[in-house]
Structure 1
Amino acid sequence: MTKLSVSCPGSCGELFQCVVGGEEYLLSYGIVQKSYLCLAEHEKSHSMLGQKMTKAMRGFTDVEHLVFDYHTDLPIGKGCSSSTADMLVALKLLSLVKHQEVSAEALTKICSTIEPSDSVAFKDWTVVNPLTGEVVFQTSWKPNLWVYILEPRDTVDTLSLPRMTETKTYPLETSQELFIRFVKACEEENVVKLGQVATRSARFNNRRLPKPYLEEIIAISEKHGSIGVNVAHSGTVLGILLPAKELAQALEEELAGHPLASYYQDRRLSPIIFEGVRQIEE
């Protein structure tokens, strides 16, 4: 019998986040760090499922007897979509157990009833409303990009942070241009314009949730061929978007010699992947 296993990638923040017509829009992109869940092959599992995962499972009946093995590579409280990825693997696994076809949008909508959610469920880049899970735009464009992740020790309690629409420090009206620019970049398949959207979004959000050394990081990244810098708009991680992985070594050498290295102590490279939440074939 094939063991049921599911994975969902996390994200290094959001490529952009903005407000359009009073509604929040965001786009997450996948990284190689993931959350995993499978049906345990033994009666006693050492895995402890989080409160949000357990809450997400309540929509399924007759599953109380199931035992799970859970693992995640994702840091908590940093803006890497850890909560969303956890809930998604739980929902996806139970839908497989029940032989139910549930779309990525439907899964995201369920997650958004528990907490504001990211768009990591989708294998294609998908802009969603994080408060409802509703899809507002999707593209089949899959640019070949890498992200150099800068992760500090600091964390943020996402739910305690004011929403973009609730704070005067965020430029609501100006931010809607980010969505328009993103759609145009996708239509043209233009990575330069894509990176500009990410950097602009990072700067807008810096008035709401400042990232230490943001401008210095942008300047350094531009010197080393980056197309842009993106941030976790409700977290602490930051991503330097690269068109080729070979650029990472020289970039790291300069970052390591800068005072910012003492704050962003964990620095690593990941390809940007297009998987979404999915069953792992074993």
Structure 2
Amino acid sequence: MQGSFAWGTRSVPALVTVPLPPLQSRVEFVPSSRPGVRAGHGTEKARRAAQLTLRLCRERGLPRPAGGQLRVESAIPSGCGMGSSTADVIATIRAVGHCCSLRLTRGEVSELARRAETASDPLAFGCEPVLFAQRHARVLRHWPRAFPPVHLVGCRLPGGPVETLALDAQGYTPHERRECLRILHLLERCVGDGDARALGEAATRSALLNQTRLPKPALPELLAVSRETGGVGVQVAHSGTVCAVLLDARRPGAAHRAREARTALDSLGLERTVDMIWGGP
């Protein structure tokens, strides 16, 4: 879910993500006396994160190497809205910090990630539900309880990599900001009442709102699959091509309906992604 939300006297872009613990980035930092941070192709943001972390170590008077080598391994597809770059960056900050005995709060990790990426996901907070201003590294809302459990039946739509920063920079109209407020109220209800339908409606409204920014031609078909299989809504990557049908995991017959949704998505020729229960205690 993504939109524009109040932060003090202004509105800023913010999002709620769907962290997927099985999909991870692993980073090894090998310190070196040779100045500079070296990394493989496609890991420029992780390299910047390492440089920023080493600089912070210097500012705090901690012993640190002159440079080092990053080894990044990721199971997360890139460019499709699954947070691959933020996962690389967060893992890098933690790896370099561990090497230098640098202790960081989750907020400090998020700020370093923002400086490395310009906009980043709230992966430093793990699976805790937060409304996060991705361009300011600030938590606007922290929910004390988990979202109700939903079964995610995911797919990937056709299309190439998406430039996240270009999408994040687009402004929201007053009408769209009012819709974002309604979405936030639905999230409050879903946590307070443990209401999976409210979560599904919030995700669906956000997906529809996103159609003016990154249109997904298959969205009507995804909504039809959700209706026909008893889903509570759909979730989309607002800066990517991955989507999922959401089903209330606590409702009797949820596993059977998830299989029906998977069959329906397969019949549309959509590439499979996740198939798992997310949320809950």
Q: Provide TM-score, normalisation by structure 1.
A: 0.79
Offset of residue 163 of structure 1: 2.5
Aligned CA distance change for structure 1 residues 94 and 196 (closer, same or farther; 3 Å): same
User: SS of the counterpart of 1:206?
Assistant: helix
Distance 1:39 1:57 in 2: 9
Check if 1:18 corresponds to 2:8.
Answer: no
Give the CA RMSD over aligned residues: 2.6
Instruction: Check the 8 A contact 1:20/1:176 in 2, yes or no.
Output: yes
Check if 1:160 corresponds to 2:145.
Answer: no
User: SS of the counterpart of 1:20?
Assistant: strand
Q: Which residue is 2:121 aligned to? A: 118
Instruction: Check the 8 A contact 2:234/2:245 in 1, yes or no.
Output: yes
- For structure 2, which runs of at least 5 residues remain unmatched after alignment? 32-37, 56-63
Distance 1:164 1:170 in 2: 15
Deviation string, structure 1 residues 126-166 (Cα, Å, up to 9, x no partner):
1110110101111232333331221134221222336341x
Offset of residue 250 of structure 1: 1.4
Instruction: Check the 8 A contact 2:47/2:70 in 1, yes or no.
Output: no
Q: Provide TM-score, normalisation by structure 2.
A: 0.80
**Which amino acid in the other structure matches residue 266 of structure 1?**
R
User: SS of the counterpart of 2:18?
Assistant: coil
Q: Which residue is 1:37 aligned to? A: 27
Offset of residue 193 of structure 1: 0.6
Q: Which residue is 2:16 aligned to? A: 27
Q: Which residue is 2:40 aligned to? A: 48
Instruction: Check the 8 A contact 1:164/1:172 in 2, yes or no.
Output: no
Instruction: Check the 8 A contact 2:149/2:196 in 1, yes or no.
Output: no
Distance 1:86 1:149 in 2: 22
User: SS of the counterpart of 2:153?
Assistant: strand
Check if 1:219 corresponds to 2:224.
Answer: yes
Offset of residue 39 of structure 1: 4.5
2:104 is aligned, of 92, 102, 124, to 102
Offset of residue 69 of structure 1: 3.2
Q: What percent identity do the matched residue pairs reach?
A: 22
**Which amino acid in the other structure matches residue 235 of structure 1?**
G
Check if 1:135 corresponds to 2:139.
Answer: yes
Instruction: Check the 8 A contact 1:19/1:173 in 2, yes or no.
Output: no
Offset of residue 235 of structure 1: 1.4
Aligned CA distance change for structure 1 residues 266 and 69 (closer, same or farther; 3 Å): same
Deviation string, structure 1 residues 59-102 (Cα, Å, up to 9, x no partner):
21534454443211111111111111111000111222222221
Offset of residue 168 of structure 1: 6.0
Q: Which residue is 1:265 aligned to? A: 271
User: SS of the counterpart of 2:91?
Assistant: helix
Aligned CA distance change for structure 1 residues 94 and 170 (closer, same or farther; 3 Å): farther
Relative to its length, the structure with more helix (as a share) is 2
User: SS of the counterpart of 1:92?
Assistant: helix
Moved more, 223-232 or 128-137: 223-232
Q: Larger radius of gyration, structure 1 or 2?
A: 2
Higher RCO structure (Cα 8 Å, ≥6 apart): 1
Offset of residue 206 of structure 1: 1.0
